[in-house]
Structure 1
Amino acid sequence: MRGIRSLNNISKRCYAAARPNEALTEAYAGQKSLAVSLPAPQDVQVSKLPNGLVIASLDNYTPLSSVGVFVKAGSRYETVENQGVAHVLRLAANLTTKGVSAFKLCRGVEALGASLSASLSRETMVYTAECFRDGLDNILEYLVNVTTAQEFQPWEVNDLTPRVNTDKARAKLSPRIGVIEKLHEAAYKNALSNSLYCPDFMVGKVSPQQLHSFVEDHFTTSRMAVVGLGVKHSDLKELGERFLSVRGGAGAPQIKVSYRGGELRVQNKNDLVHAMVVSEGAVAGSAEANSYVVLQRILGAGPHVKRGSNITSKLGQGVAKATTQVFDVSAFNAFYADSGLFGVYTISQANTAGDVIRASIAQVGAIAQGAVTADDIARAKTQAKADYLMSIESSSGLMAEMGAQALAAGAYQAPETILQAIEAVTQDDVVKAARKFVDGKKTMAASGHLISTPFVDEL
């Protein structure tokens, strides 16, 4: 205790005492002002090269640079013969290429203090490199190698099998991922019905020849976009002209998806039932898509706080009247290049699953009958605009948005344009979107102890 008491004897200093008669908010007269000229902010620049490659960049003067190569090579482009090839290709991003070995690639990226990653969606494969500005030239060399100079050595491809199994095991731990996969499998006849994960019967069966063939068919300049943050536009154009031009051509044609509707159920002993009921929605980038965005916020897009409730949403309020044993309810919305899915996603106890699903669908039906106010529309628009602006605050979110627009339209719409499109949605647009869900052919996927879960034809 003596040591603690001794703290009282420490002399107190008042650093403001040196300027007893001067306001602390004013600059000190003896201090020289440092005139620093900040660079002018830039807008996103987009160029399309003669070979079809789209270049989009934003030099935000950050000390970190990020470059992404977006390719129309998602799982929707797989065929019956090569199912799972996109999953294996994503895992093969760090293998030996014609320019560098896997060892040199790993050590070289680490020596730069950089990162090199690959991600996959149903429509797009994305290779992303992040590093300090002074190491940009070196990391771009590695990025070009992993996207245009793959080797796919047989022994290295075989070694990917445990990683494929690990990915599938992780996906099975998430009921939401499992239900979404089953939903797409039931909703479409082809293309978008393909899973993001390699099917069991193809694990260890995807050959180097299939990987090479998939890359040759889809990794072409007319199906690619290069996006950079913290990078000069001229540097990215030079990259596209010098290196990526080796993959010229139109590539394989895109197969138009066919929505069919249907149902898939996974029976297990889980106490919570995860269920999705959807109809075909809107195409990405269309005016109708904005109506679904607003409708989703009216119904409830899910809690924004971890372990928070969604009771203030239309779905939450409607379901609460039917049962008190609800875990979560929200609206599901997915856009693709030539289709979309919209509906409800419920998580509930097994014995109340039927009541929760029916109450959720009834809420969409009420909006289809016009039970939505101007205040509901205004609030939903505000939420939709806020969600969009927050999604592009991070570098990864902004790059994803730039890449998606560059691949789809070869151009970039400023956030102001997107916000104006959301604001232009009317009450009639929202009612029409809800009516399309109610009248459309339904698709349902459910997982859990389905003792009280109705079939899709019973809804």
Structure 2
Amino acid sequence: MTFFAAFPARIKMFIAKRGFAKLTDAAKAAQSVARPREPIGRQVVHGDQSRDVRVTRLPNDLTVISEDSNIPVTRVVVAVKAGARHEPPEVPGLSHALRNAAPLGTRECSAFGLSRNMEQLGASLSATTTRDHIIYTMNVHRNHLPETIKFLGYVVAKQEFKRWEVKDAAARLDLDLDIYEHRPDIQLMEHLHAAAYRDGLANSLFAPRWAAHHYDAKMLREYVQSAFKPSRMAIAVYGARHEDILNYAADNFKIDYGYMKKPMTEFEECAPEMHTLQQLPKEHGTNAQHRDIPAKYGGGQCFHQTLDHLAYAAVAVEGAGINNPKEALALSLLQQFLGSEPSVKWSNGQKVSPLAKAAAGATREEYAITGLNICHSDSGLFGFTAVAHGKDIAKVVQAGLHVLREGKGVDLQRLQEAKNKLVAKLLMHHESRCEQFHDMAIQALSTGNIMSVNDAVAIVDQIRPDDLAKYAQSLVQKGTFSMAAVGNLSHLPRLDEFV
């Protein structure tokens, strides 16, 4: 939940250093932090001067992105390249445990102090994980930013991982896994990545059930020491002066964990026999420098039978990553062309797309089929997802594969319709400047450059029918499909059985 409130000055008493700070001390500290200083680092300005996005790389390689505005609420996004793909292979699910450890005590503030101070200052803090990043997001009234941002710095840069707190946090892992087991749509995406990739992108966003209660403080501490480096982080702020943000970042995000000198701590006698972990050689552990391994697409299939009358299936080939924005946008346009979710909820408008038309000719029962385009930092997945009754899912998947493989010419009218949909989707997504800054932090870490929404729209407008047809043909020529399915799979053939 998010609460925004302007608290009177008389209750600006907050908990720090595991105790209570006097009001006068707190006020002095806030004033000293808020005092403007000279800008630090190399600066780049994006956009017009009246409403510009400014980017600075600090001397320690920490990237800071900001835009000032007169909005009353400031959003701070801290993205770190420490998602599921960066987990050491001997400790699966570690990023999930790290996300759940966000509200735990730090070296400067207890867990109670963190929660209490955030509430008193009217702030909210959340942590999310992707396969590439772990992202911390804070919302606060801009008048309270000087006092609040240091607590975000505690969460990101001064984590402590007390043994008893890590043990208690395992209950939240159980809750996440319970929800995951009742969400076949989420399971489908996890299985699709496991089938498609041969590297860290195959790692699940969720911890294995058997490991949920066996993560310890030492494992989390070693992972943070290896992955949380200033060069692997970006801070994006919407609603504050750039000079102030540079000072806050320099003061509150001083990360100096040192370097690892031994392999990552592995599970010890905690896994059941059916999930025995191999003892890997030392060179496979976390090294002194955390290295990013390029994505390796292989293709394959992963099926998970459950007690359900529906079947969920996804078929994909390797697509484009964020590091190739032109191709990624072209594939997003191709996704809209083949068929996306209906613009009007519960409507039949979906049946005009090529995918939906093909599926409608294959079954008279209810179904849903949409294009799929997932972009990671250096790779992606493009294809379609389908839901149908167990006895009809094979026909729907066959129809979708036929649309992907046939590579017919692109109709100019349909292309313009797809462009209108994609442009509207891009603009509506970035209607919230806060969401745009979330994307900017990801782009800064993935490519080192930031593309504005106007640049993205311009690229989409320049795509011609011949260009889209070439992208579609190149996907088919790659030839290696991946497939995942969850639910009632009694009538679903394996991937090699589809013609």
User: TM range, normalised to the smaller chain?
Assistant: 0.7 to 0.9
Q: Aligned equivalents of 1:414 and 1:340: distance in 2? A: 21
Match of 1:32 in 2: none
Instruction: Write the mapping of 1:367-406 to structure 2, written as runs, cut at 5 A.
Output: 368-370=407-409, 372-406=410-444
Instruction: Write the mapping of 1:196-207 to structure 2, written as runs, cut at 5 A.
Output: 196-207=205-216
Q: Aligned equivalents of 1:111 and 1:446: distance in 2? A: 47
Q: Give yes or no for the alignment of 1:173 onto 2:211.
A: no
Q: CA deviation at 1:409?
A: 3.0
Q: Aligned equivalents of 1:312 and 1:231: distance in 2? A: 46
Q: Aligned equivalents of 2:381 and 2:253: distance in 1? A: 34
| Aligned residue type for 1:325 | E
Q: Is the 8 A contact 1:281 1:342 kept in 2?
A: yes
| Aligned residue type for 1:428 | D
Match of 1:149 in 2: 158
Q: Aligned equivalents of 2:105 and 2:235: distance in 1? A: 22
Q: Aligned equivalents of 1:419 and 1:224: distance in 2? A: 27
Of 397, 402, 420, the residue aligned with 1:357 is 397
Match of 1:10 in 2: none
Match of 2:284 in 1: none
Instruction: Write the mapping of 1:324-363 to structure 2, written as runs, cut at 5 A.
Output: 324-363=364-403
Q: Aligned equivalents of 2:496 and 2:256: distance in 1? A: 48
Q: Aligned equivalents of 1:64 and 1:92: distance in 2? A: 26
Number of residue pairs matched by the alignment: 418
- Between stretches 170-179 and 144-153, larger displacement belongs to 170-179
* Secondary structure class of the residue paired with 2:96: helix
Match of 2:148 in 1: 139
Q: Is the 8 A contact 1:219 1:247 kept in 2?
A: no
| Aligned residue type for 1:119 | T
| Aligned residue type for 1:376 | R
Q: CA deviation at 1:235?
A: 1.3
Match of 2:202 in 1: 193
* Secondary structure class of the residue paired with 1:94: coil
* Counterparts in 2 of 1:225 and 1:409: CA distance versus 1, 3 Å: same
Match of 2:356 in 1: 316
Q: Is the 8 A contact 1:100 1:145 kept in 2?
A: yes
Match of 1:35 in 2: none
Q: Give yes or no for the alignment of 1:213 onto 2:211.
A: no
* Counterparts in 2 of 1:226 and 1:248: CA distance versus 1, 3 Å: farther
Q: Is the 8 A contact 2:180 2:187 kept in 1?
A: yes
* Secondary structure class of the residue paired with 2:352: coil
Match of 1:270 in 2: 308
Q: CA deviation at 1:380?
A: 1.0
Q: Is the 8 A contact 1:221 1:248 kept in 2?
A: no
Q: Aligned equivalents of 2:194 and 2:289: distance in 1? A: 26
Q: Aligned equivalents of 2:168 and 2:257: distance in 1? A: 31
Q: CA deviation at 1:242?
A: 2.3
- Between stretches 218-227 and 200-209, larger displacement belongs to 200-209
Match of 1:72 in 2: 81
Q: Is the 8 A contact 2:333 2:419 kept in 1?
A: yes
Gaps of 5+ in 1: 1-39
* Secondary structure class of the residue paired with 2:106: coil
Q: Is the 8 A contact 1:44 1:412 kept in 2?
A: no
Q: Aligned equivalents of 1:318 and 1:51: distance in 2? A: 54
Q: CA deviation at 1:308?
A: 3.6
RMSD: 1.6
TM-score (norm 1): 0.88
TM-score (norm 2): 0.81
Over 3 Å off, 4+ runs: 247-251, 304-309
Q: CA deviation at 1:230?
A: 0.6
Q: CA deviation at 1:67?
A: 0.6
Structure ID, larger Rg: 1
Match of 2:327 in 1: 288
Deviations 1:80-132 (A, max 9, x none): 22211110111111100011000011110001111011111110111111111
Q: Aligned equivalents of 1:42 and 1:285: distance in 2? A: 26
* Secondary structure class of the residue paired with 2:341: coil
Q: Is the 8 A contact 1:72 1:218 kept in 2?
A: yes
Q: Is the 8 A contact 1:327 1:349 kept in 2?
A: yes
Gaps of 5+ in 2: 1-48, 259-287
Q: Is the 8 A contact 2:372 2:384 kept in 1?
A: yes
Q: Aligned equivalents of 1:323 and 1:348: distance in 2? A: 9
Q: Is the 8 A contact 1:51 1:248 kept in 2?
A: no
| Aligned residue type for 1:328 | A
Q: Aligned equivalents of 1:216 and 1:161: distance in 2? A: 21
| Aligned residue type for 1:406 | A
Match of 1:415 in 2: 453
Q: CA deviation at 1:399?
A: 2.2
Q: Is the 8 A contact 2:81 2:133 kept in 1?
A: yes
Q: Aligned equivalents of 1:417 and 1:352: distance in 2? A: 42
**Percent same amino acid at aligned positions?**
34
Q: CA deviation at 1:252?
A: 0.7
* Secondary structure class of the residue paired with 1:380: helix
Of 211, 219, 235, the residue aligned with 1:226 is 235
Match of 1:299 in 2: 338
Q: CA deviation at 1:257?
A: 2.0
- Between stretches 214-223 and 239-248, larger displacement belongs to 239-248
Q: Is the 8 A contact 2:322 2:447 kept in 1?
A: no
Deviations 1:420-446 (A, max 9, x none): 111122222322222233332011000
Q: CA deviation at 1:251?
A: 4.8
Deviations 1:35-90 (A, max 9, x none): xxxxx841211111121111111112100011111111100001222211110111
Q: Is the 8 A contact 1:44 1:57 kept in 2?
A: yes
Q: Is the 8 A contact 2:322 2:443 kept in 1?
A: no
Q: Is the 8 A contact 1:74 1:121 kept in 2?
A: yes
